[in-house]
Structure 1
Amino acid sequence: MYSQNSKNENIGRTELSNDKIKVLNFGSFHMGITTDANSTEFDERNKKNIDSVHQIAKTLADFKPTVIIVERTPYFNEELKENYRAYLKNPDTIFRNQSEIELIAFEVGRLSGTKRVYGIDHKLEYKYYIEKEIINTNDSITYNNFLKNPFKNDPELNVELETLSLLNKLKLMNNQKFLDFLIVANADILTHVGTAGNFEGADEAAKYYKRNLRMYSNLNQITLDEDDRVFILMGASQTAFFRDFMSRSPKYEMINTFKYLK
């Protein structure tokens, strides 16, 4: 029995040392101005808030990323890199449109000595509230019940984010059940919305999948090798989709977020 267990342990070690690119796939709320339908109250210029964010960035920096990926379109990559260089020269820099990119990603990069930073976002028109434009004859019961009580099946997720500390807020948002919920709330639930013989809700949900798939494609256009360690910072719904994509990927290995989110 001891011999068999030792063999299994060695297999585990081999799998952990595979040649896949290590990724820390981290979800956050948007800490600055956002066009998202839902937002979280946060003063990104408050000194106490900045200090709290930087404490979390310090633990995430233990991942030692060589590449940082953020939710900004590749079109702005040169501006992104210029801002990052400015931050490395002066970490006290306050940017005009400060967000989680500057507060978390730049600080993680500074502490880790990361040289490369890229944006992979892709903008796509998407109607969160398509049901307001049509008479839903598809499955209004399921859809309306979800709107009334979205956490019915997972009551432990039914927490007022504003009552949580920053750390606990981010812990909740990176919880696997919460990430699953975000995919349902942002896309899958819309498959219950539509008119007879049509797919209005499903088509909107498909746009959200399409956006995230295109973001994933943007990531795959960046040159990476097996020695790279990639820190990805995005809104939590994007994190949820990337978690699913990467869980099946022949290229990436996701590292447990809670190894670093302490």
Structure 2
Amino acid sequence: MNKVIFFIAFLVISNVKAQQNIFKDKFDDAIPVLNFGTFHMGFTSDANSVDFDENDKKNQKEVHKIAKMIAEFKPTIIIVETTPDFNETLQKEYAEYLKNPKIKFKNPSEIELLAYEVGRLSSATRIYGIDHHMGYNYNIPNYIPNKVNDQTYERYFQLINEEEKKLNYDNLSLLEKLKIDNNPQYLDFLININADILTHVSTKDKFEGADEAAKFYHRNIRMYSNLNQIDFKPGDRVFILMGATHTAYFNNFMKRSPKYQLVDPFLYLK
């Protein structure tokens, strides 16, 4: 009996060791990054949107409660989903908010509602946009005649539609919504529905779905390149706020990067 227990213990220990890092892959001064996903709180051109009144005082109060939680991370730099050519205007608007947090925005988004407030509470003075616009068609399966299809695409969306009903996302509180948006399984799901599932749709000897999915990967890797062009200083701590699909890609990029050290958002979403 003791031999059996010892053997099981040996297998468990061996398995744990097999999963440990085999070499150092992060710089000693790797930059802490809180990479945070959200739905778009204002107008969005995205195909899917969440019903959220950005001008409602109660909603704004709830957003600021979340901002107070996140501010415990103490970021020194804020990153948002706008293009770099807007950075000068963005920095100016943010500076005005720091002087007067009661400033009224006509159509505030998660940037004005959440990112600015996190930055204010953290005394962060620098803010940058890293978005990069590229067109792609994730509805391409509807436009491919005579496609070779193993039904994975159709079956997957049938499964997801059933599960989304159980999730009842629209009726959750803001905090509960953001916990879902940053759940690792949900982030993987976002990459799948926006790109990977398209690899199951093509015509013989062609790659229509895969090529379209690659465009979305292309956009996100360019956004990541925009991030890498920012001049970070020793001691900087970075808060990134973007639509959760971009968050999902950035988690993958930064997990492998020697430069960044991801911080678990659930340390602050309590």
Q: Which residue of 2 aligns with 1:122?
A: 132
Q: Where does residue 79 of structure 1 map in the other structure?
A: 89
Alignment of 1:64-143 (within 5 A): 64-135=74-145, 137-143=147-153
Q: 2:226 aligns with which of 218, 228, 242?
A: 218
User: Tell me, what secondary structure is at the counterpart of 2:191?
Assistant: helix
Gap change, CA 1:101 and 1:197, over 3 Å in 2: same
Q: Is the 8 A contact 1:21 1:225 kept in 2?
A: no
Q: Using the alignment, how far apart are the partners of 2:146 and 2:187 within structure 1?
A: 27
**Would the alpha carbon gap of residues 203 and 248 (structure 1) be closer, same or farther in structure 2, given more than 3 Å must change?**
same
Normalised to the residue count of structure 1, the TM-score between the two structures is 0.90
Question: Which residue of the partner structure matches residue 201 of structure 1?
Answer: 209
Contact 1:174 1:236 in 2 (8 A): yes
Q: Distance in 2 between matches of 1:64 and 1:137?
A: 51
Instruction: Pick closer, same or farther for the CA change 1:39–1:114 going to 2, 3 Å.
Output: same
2:160 aligned residue (108, 129, 150): 150
Match of 1:29 in 2: 39
The CA distance in 2 between the partners of 1:136 and 1:57, in whole Å, is 50
| CA separation of 1:233 and 1:139: change in aligned 2, threshold 3 A | same
In structure 1, what is the equivalent of residue 48 of structure 2? 38
Name the CA shift for 1:79/1:158 in 2 (closer, same or farther; >3 Å): farther
Q: How far does residue 226 in structure 1 lie from its aligned partner after superposition?
A: 3.5
Partner of 2:13: none
Structure 2 residue 243 is matched with structure 1 residue 227: no
Q: State the shift of 1:79 in Å.
A: 1.1
Q: Among residues 241, 254, 258, which one is paired with 2:249 in the alignment?
A: 241
Q: CA deviation at 1:75?
A: 0.8
Q: Which secondary structure does the structure 2 equivalent of 1:27 belong to?
A: strand
The structure-2 alpha-carbon separation of the partners of 1:251 and 1:15, relative to structure 1 and needing over 3 Å to count, comes to closer
| Shift, 1:136, TM fit | 5.2
TM-score w.r.t. length of structure 2: 0.87
Q: Per the alignment, in what secondary structure is the counterpart of residue 190 of structure 1?
A: helix
Map Cα deviations across residues 183-222 of structure 1 (whole Å, 9 max, x no partner). Answer: 1011000111111111111111001100000000000000
The Cα of 1:96 is off from its aligned counterpart by 2.5
Compare 223-232 and 156-165 and name the one that shifted more.
Answer: 156-165
Structure-2 separation of matches of 1:209 and 1:136: 26
Structure 1 residue 146 displacement after superposition:
1.1
Take 1:89 and 1:83, find their aligned partners in 2: how far apart are those partners? 10
Indicate if the aligned counterparts of 1:151 and 1:158 stay in contact, CA closer than 8 A: no
Residues 11-64 of structure 1: CA deviation (Å, up to 9, x unaligned): xxx999931000000000000000001000000000000000000000100111
Partner of 1:180: 188
Instruction: Decide whether the 8 Å contact of 2:25 with 2:258 is kept in 1.
Output: no
What is aligned with 2:18? none
**What corresponds to 2:3 in structure 1?**
none
Q: Which amino acid aligns with 2:82?
A: R
Instruction: Give yes or no for contact 2:77–2:237 (8 Å, CA) kept in 1.
Output: yes
Question: Is contact 1:134-1:195 (8 Å) kept?
Answer: yes
Deviation at 1:97, TM superposition (A): 3.0
Q: 1:17 to 1:120 in 2, by over 3 A?
A: closer
List structure 1 segments (4+ residues) > 6 angstroms apart after TM superposition: 14-17
Aligned length: 247
Distance in 2, Cα, partners of 1:45 & 1:247: 36
